[in-house]
Structure 1
Amino acid sequence: MSVPENVKKRYEQLKAEIEEHNYRYYVLADPIISDQEYDKLFRELLEIEKKYPELKAPDSPSQRIGGTVLEGFNKVAHSVPMLSLDNTYNEEEIMEFHKRVLKNSNRNNVDYLCELKIDGVSVAIRYVNGLLDLALTRGDGLIGEDITENVKTVASIPLKLRKNIDIEVRGEIYMPIKEFVRINVEREEKGLSIFANPRNATAGTLKLLDSTEVAKRKLNSFIYYIIFPENYGLKTQEEALTFLKELGFRVNLNYKKAENINEVIDFWKKWNSMRRELEYEADGIVVKVNEFDIQRILGETVRSPRWAIAFKFQAEQKEAKLVKVKFQVGSTGIITPVAEFSPIRLEGTIVKRASLHNFDYVKERDIREGDYVIVEKAGGIIPQVIGPVKEKRTGEEKIIEPPKECPVCGGKVGKIKSEEVAIRCLNPSCPEKLLRSLENFVSRECMNIQGLGEKLLKRMIDAGLIKDIADLYYLNDEKLRSLGKGIGDKIIQNILNQIEDSKNRDLYSLINALGIPNVGAKTAKDLAYHFKSIENLMNASFSDLVEIEGIGEDTARAIINFFSQEEVKKIIDKLKDAGVNMGYIQVKKEGPLNGKIICQTGSLSRMTRQEFAEYVESKGGTFTETLTKKTDILVVGENPGSKLAKAQQYGTLIMTEEEFFNKY
């Protein structure tokens, strides 16, 4: 049946009216009709679409109701990498950032734009001819997940722009605090687990496969960034925010142009004290060089822009009663005192315990069991006890003494080195040490073996199935079934599949999983990239290790000592025999450096050697530490070494840092 012309006309009129009211409500905060009048218009639109489904358009406001059920989220490459921001927490550090900006831009002063840092989920949104075409999560910064259907349900994100242009914007989707509280009350009443904070609730909502459920949670947004702003005649971040608002996006108006760094600090102080008045979580301010020309001069590293920084708010502090101190044994045997205190709400989550780090920390601060203590979250994440409230002492508080024996196995305790702060369990067979090693090994940041939680791992240890981390790869159906109650066919198959999949993890995951003292995720990546195999790393000399940027003498010694242990060598052999990957897996990426071998000499002003290596690979090239006749390009920084003369001898293309980055 054909659609009457008057119906078509009314439908288009309704679409335009409803979107105009959305814009006035969500962007301008200046509605001109009541909720009842708005609902009446919306119902009329839905009735027309129901009667004439062929009219329903991609930019119809009815898209916000949801209704699409996905099987999963497709991976999509970002047009431009979504970088993360470096963080700073005090005035001294923001002054250092300012000095670097002036030095690297060769300016006496710059203007900054200060914006609130919304604690939500970053998204990239593309529009084609003014229509919402694609929305992506940040992902790993290079590849995100397609969450377009879910983003359409966010009322403040326009389905159709107020100008018919192609554009990509970026911003933050968040859950308002009131909505967060409402959802948690509902979940608690239904016996469901509650969300820890609004950011987690937002992330969980955007990963729901049913967009109808997403629509129920009333997410909101702020958009703050335009890809290639010069294409729209924009010269500053301030102009970009104005342009975004004109297009129909919701822009956070709590921003300020600062003409000097002191005004930046004043803005930070103001919102540090006022942030609790906001209807959303903000954990700092973002400080951006205002002029895009200067931003381009400053550039970025592989991870973050040099022209912007997150200036985090000072941690919220609360007082709590320290009820008990327990001793926790870690994977290397270190015994850590852990404070358990009366529950407090801190930075949006309920906190009941915090590490006291070591016994020297406890002694220096004179923290006692029974004290009232001041608690804060370091970096807004990790709870820590700052110190006691001594004026509240009653005399019944107990001094915290280091244990004379392991609190788990009863074995001897002591220090490996006299200068060491940590007290360790010295029993090599301590089940708690093994449990913590296994928890680290299977964690997401390491071998990512899902389904193996603390309780199940403990059951395996108690049953004698696992005596070291390598024994995980020798589990089978019969051994798992012997654990008895609660371990059925489905769980067994899932565990064995997960363990099998983990054999193909990257080398850096394995290095991180081994629990080498002083070696975390970043250092593990640097070691994997440099040595390319576990065997090379095990045979590395002290001088080989300290040559790598970021690895100091203490870490180098820790690595050598770790791999010199016979127990560790046996574990590596067992892992190798089980088929666990021991080599570097290089993922080839397409880009302008495809097929080219790049070498570097001297220091670069834009990034470290490791960051440069990652940059080369992100552009499809191969980075090498050694210059040979096969090397295509030598990039020369300050104070170049002997590679420069060798490149001249070989006839290798030599490029300055500026020439290389201008071209690639």
Structure 2
Amino acid sequence: MITTHFNDEQLAILKTFDSNLNPKHISALFEKSELTSQELVQLLQASNALYRAGTPVLTDQQYDLYTSMLRELNHLHPFLNQVEPEVLAEAKTVELPQRMLSTEKAYTVADIEKWLKRILKAADEINVSEDEIELRVTPKLDGYAAYDDGTKLYTRGDGYRGQDITRAIERGLKIAENGRRGLGPGEIVIKKSYFDQVLSDIFENSRNIQAAIIAEKKMDENVQKAIDEGACVFYPFALLKNTTDHFKTIIDNFDTIVEAMWKAVDFDIDGVILEATHPEIKAHMGATRRNHRWQIAFKVNEDSAQVEVVNVIPQTSRTGRISPVAELIPTKLSGATISRVTVHHYNMVKTNGVGPGAIVQIVRSGLVIPKIEQVIKKAEPQIPSECPSCKSHLLWESDHLICPNKSDCPAQTENTLVHFFKTLGNNDGFGPKVIEKLSNYGVKHIHEIYAKKVHNFKGYGFGDKTSQNLFDQLKASREVEVEDWRFLSAFGVSRLGGGNCEKLLQHHEITQLFELSAEDMVKIDGFAQLSAEAIVEGLANIKTEFFKVYELGFNLAQTPKASEQNNKASEIAGAVIVFTGSMQQGARGDMEKQAKSLGAKVAKSVTGKTTYLVTGEKVGETKINAAKDKGVQVLTEQEYLDLIG
């Protein structure tokens, strides 16, 4: 538990970041021992905003702890798939010339070896010899992420859109190592020796200075002096001191290389970065929305202890996953008293004998949330047969126990409603705060929300204008066209995301899916027996609610049947297409839908597997040239329309 109270400067930053934010509510979250996923996201967003503004309330390790807690509650939460934004609340955002992502983290050599296996697997898939695989190791600078295209300097923002901070260059900010402009991503940093000798009595930490360099307000004279004397610089990653060698050499000398990197620069660092250098491997592995798969950050610090398990408590997350929490005899570890630790999943409980009396070795890596490293002494595993929230029969899904009761499980109800409106994507009014308020008044089902009138919302404490807007948006969400696969996916059936919904609806009408058996489903390419069984049971659980909502008369666009697609001769069948920029002859979403109906696959980012990059207006040359370098054919909007006839 961390106790914090915001000072006047921090309160002002939070208000600027989000005028609806209640600082007292956020402050109280730091003092709670258990947090919901929504509360964790609020705490993380506020902490990130303060950190970027130069007034941090958490250390990196504490921030990672809360992130790990969110991952344990809901590993699929959208926040975990976003880049933590570099925010300047008062500035407008612009599209970055190139995506800037966060970096996957590792705290043990074993984690690095797992990552390396993925590199080797990717190399094998594209026939790259192991002799060609090199790794580049650099210091991981602890600064303010930015991107320099030679003309402008941008913050990282959310990885896609940042803010123009070219004023920092105009104030005299130099490129490290006497480098030239335009070298892409890097960090704004200040020399440790200079900070310690000159500024440590004036500023609490170097983050205050990094924020001051790029702020729109008048420059602090001490920071301006640091810029003028070359102590503050923009350090492009391309110029970082590094060790680049064959991957076996890097692993064999890992400790020595890490130690050398730690001393390589006179700047704060919080780890080292390892990345594959082979361009084909990088293109093949690509990236998630948050991280490049070919890159990883290694952080150092680890402490462990052997502890006796007292009890294993099941907890239902808002996604229906049952998380086993081991209660321990309280033990000191890395300066903290540890009395509970989340076991990874219930298959680990079952196969490793985690129950009362078991002796486990717990590890606290990087001073973040502790985890069970191994079971020293087994006991009778403690496994629940029913959901602790709603008493429903539990299902095994791979390594996890799942509560399939999406509609009536108290632990899942609120998340189910949030998921529905977020996935449907045509209704901005029913976000988490509105849903939370409705849930507090006993609203549990989607169809109940659609039955509400203006006076109902007023009765729940919403204002006159808000109540009318909520009612109008519900009406509009039934009238605006939405894909049938998206509508089905919005009900949150386990293993039935958008892709699988689309596959099913290519073969069956949406109302027929509830009559399918697992055997019917496995006949469709892409469905295994266990997945099919889980989907059939999940559909049975939502059937009543589905038809109550379906019969409200949504405007559903039907997914083209596979037989229809096969009968269409299409120039883009089987192609992988990325659309970018502002389209003039139709909405980009409509073009993506049409491309899918013609048998193409639509992606969001360009990789070596992309066939066409279709460009609208306002697309930077950097993006176009990067696509051409990967061998991707670049088409204008009109050239694409001519291609498909």
Q: TM-score, normalised by structure 2?
A: 0.52
SS in 2 for 1:367: coil
Separation in structure 1 between the aligned mates of residue 223 and residue 302 of structure 2, nearest angstrom: 34
Return closer, same or farther for 1:117/1:357 CA change in 2, 3 Å cut-off: same
Deviation at 1:515, TM superposition (A): 1.9
CA distance in 2, matches of 1:441, 1:176: 49
Q: Where do residues 307-326 of structure 1 align in structure 2 (5 Å cutoff)?
A: 309-313=294-298, 317-319=302-304, 325-326=312-313
Query: Which residues of 2 match residues 131-530 of structure 1 at below 5 A?
Result: 133-137=152-156, 139=158, 143-148=160-165, 158=174, 167-172=182-187, 222-225=235-238, 241=239, 251=240, 253=241, 255-258=242-245, 260-270=246-256, 279-282=268-271, 284-289=273-278, 295=279, 299-300=283-284, 303=287, 309-313=294-298, 317-319=302-304, 325-331=312-318, 335-339=322-326, 354-368=341-355, 374-375=361-362, 384-387=371-374, 401-402=382-383, 407-409=388-390, 411=391, 413-416=392-395, 422=401, 424=403, 429-438=408-417, 440-441=419-420, 452-453=432-433, 460-461=438-439, 463-464=441-442, 466-475=443-452, 477-483=454-460, 513-519=490-496, 523-524=497-498, 526-527=499-500
**221 and 548 in structure 1: CA distance in 2 versus 1, 3 angstrom threshold:** farther
By how many angstroms is 1:97 displaced?
Answer: 2.4
Give the 3 Å change call, closer, same or farther, for CA 355–572 of structure 1 in structure 2: farther
Select the residue among 101, 116, 121 that pairs with 1:94. 116
Once residues 124 and 272 of structure 1 are traced to their aligned partners in structure 2, the CA distance between those partners, rounded to angstroms, is: 26
Aligned equivalents of 2:422 and 2:317: distance in 1?
15
Greater shift, 280-289 or 306-315, is seen at 306-315
Given that 2:404 and 2:538 are in contact with CA atoms closer than 8 Å, whether structure 1 keeps it comes out as no
2:150 counterpart residue number: 127
Partner SS, residue 94 of structure 1: helix
Kept after mapping to 2: 8 A contact 1:115/1:287: no
Conserved in 2, the CA contact under 8 Å of 1:597 and 1:624?
no
C-alpha change, 1:660 and 1:460, in structure 2 (3 Å) is closer
Report the Cα distance in structure 2 between the residues aligned to 1:475 and 1:125, rounded to whole angstroms.
51
Contact 2:363 2:373 in 1 (8 A): yes
Question: CA 1:92 to 1:511, structure 2 compared with 1: closer, same or farther past 3 Å?
Answer: same
Does the CA contact (< 8 Å) of 1:286 and 1:308 recur in 2? no
Give the conservation status (yes or no) of the 8 Å contact 2:322–2:400: no
C-alpha offsets along residues 344-389 of structure 1, whole Å, 9 cap, x if unaligned? 888x999986533554433433434687754458999886433456
The 5 Å alignment of 1:61-140 reads: 71-78=90-97, 80-82=98-100, 89-91=111-113, 93-94=115-116, 97-98=119-120, 100-101=122-123, 104=127, 108-109=131-132, 111-118=134-141, 122-128=145-151, 133-137=152-156, 139=158
Percent identity between the aligned chains? Answer: 16
Q: Structure 1, residues 300-348: CA drift from partner, whole Å, max 9, x if none?
A: 56648999822453885544777875432245755433346769888x9
Q: Does 1:571 align with 2:546?
A: yes
Distance in 2 of aligned mates of 1:343 and 1:580:
58
SS at structure 2 position matched to 1:281:
strand
CA contact (8 A) 1:98 1:261 kept: no
User: Structure 1: which amino acid aligns with 2:295?
Assistant: A
How far off is 1:160 after superposition?
11
Kept in 1: contact 2:407–2:444 (CA 8 A): no
Any idea what the Cα deviations from partners look like across 1:23-60, whole Å, max 9, x if unmatched? xxxxxxxxxxxxxxxxxxxxxxxxxxxxxxxxxxxxxx
Q: Deviations over 1:71-116 (max 9, x none)?
A: 44223252x4557878993436525624754864578535543324
Contiguous gaps of at least 5 residues in structure 2: 1-86, 196-201, 227-231, 560-568, 600-607, 610-627, 635-645
Q: In structure 1, the residue corresponding to 2:132 is in which secondary structure?
A: coil
Query: Are the structure 2 counterparts of residues 435 and 113 from structure 1 closer, same or farther at C-alpha, using a change threshold of 3 Å?
Result: closer
1:87–1:309 CA contact under 8 A, matched in 2: no
1:440, 1:513 within 8 Å by CA — same for their partners in 2?
Answer: yes
What per-residue deviation string (whole Å, max 9, x for no partner) do you get for residues 130-172 of structure 1? xxx23142645xx4222416865998x5289968x76351124
The code of the aligned residue for 1:261 comes to F
User: Once the 2 structures are TM-superposed, how far is the Cα of residue 256 of structure 1 from its aligned partner?
Assistant: 0.5
Q: d(CA) in 2 for partners of 1:151 and 1:428?
A: 52
Q: Determine the C-alpha separation between the residues in 1 that align with 2:464 and 2:357.
A: 48
Instruction: Determine helix, strand or coil for the equivalent of 1:437.
Output: helix
**TM-score normalised to the size of structure 1?**
0.51
- CA distance in structure 2 between the aligned counterparts of 1:495 and 1:174, rounded to whole angstroms: 46
Which one-letter code corresponds to 1:135 in the other structure?
A: Y
Cα separation, partners in 2 of 1:325 and 1:101, compared to 1, 3 Å: closer
> Does 2:573 correspond to 1:554?
no
2-structure distance, mates of 1:352, 1:495: 45
Quote the residue 2:572 is aligned against.
599
Unpaired runs of at least 5, structure 1: 1-67, 180-185, 190-194, 226-240, 242-250, 290-294, 585-595, 602-608, 629-636, 639-657
Contact 1:119 1:283 in 2 (8 A): no
Q: CA deviation at 1:534?
A: 12
Aligned partners of 1:146 and 1:551: how far apart in 2? 44
Sort the Cα spacing of 1:469 and 1:543 in 2 relative to 1 into closer, same or farther, 3 A. Answer: same
Once residues 663 and 325 of structure 1 are traced to their aligned partners in structure 2, the CA distance between those partners, rounded to angstroms, is 56
Say if 2:446 and 2:545, in contact at 8 Å, map to a contact too.
no
Residues 93 and 583 of structure 1: CA distance in aligned 2, closer, same or farther (over 3 Å): same
- The C-alpha deviation readout for 1:618-656, integer Å capped at 9, x for no partner, is 99986857879xxxxxxxx99xxxxxxxxxxxxxxxxxx
Identify if the C-alpha distance between structure 1 residues 371 and 335 changes in structure 2 by more than 3 Å, giving closer, same or farther.
Answer: same
1:645 is aligned to none
2: CA distance between counterparts of 1:500 and 1:280?
Answer: 53
CA 1:582–1:148: 2 relative to 1, 3 Å: farther
Task: Report the CA distance shift for 1:576/1:154 in structure 2 as closer, same or farther (over 3 A).
Answer: farther
Whether contact under 8 Å (1:150, 1:211) holds in the other structure is: no
Query: Which 10-residue stretch deviates more, 470-479 or 82-91?
Result: 82-91
Amino acid at match of 1:338: V
Larger-Rg structure: 1
Question: Counterpart amino acid of 2:95?
Answer: V
Q: In the alignment, residue 313 of structure 1 is paired with which amino acid? A: F
Distance 1:429 1:349, change over 3 A: same
Superimposed CA distance per residue, residues 244-285 of structure 1 (whole angstroms, 9 cap, x where no aligned partner): xxxxxxx3x2x1121x22112135444667888894322642
Give distance in 1, aligned partners of 2:501 and 2:582: 17
**Is the 2:213–2:223 contact (alpha carbons within 8 Å) kept by the matching residues of 1?**
no
1:167 corresponds to which letter in structure 2? G
Structure 1 position 517, deviation (Å): 0.9
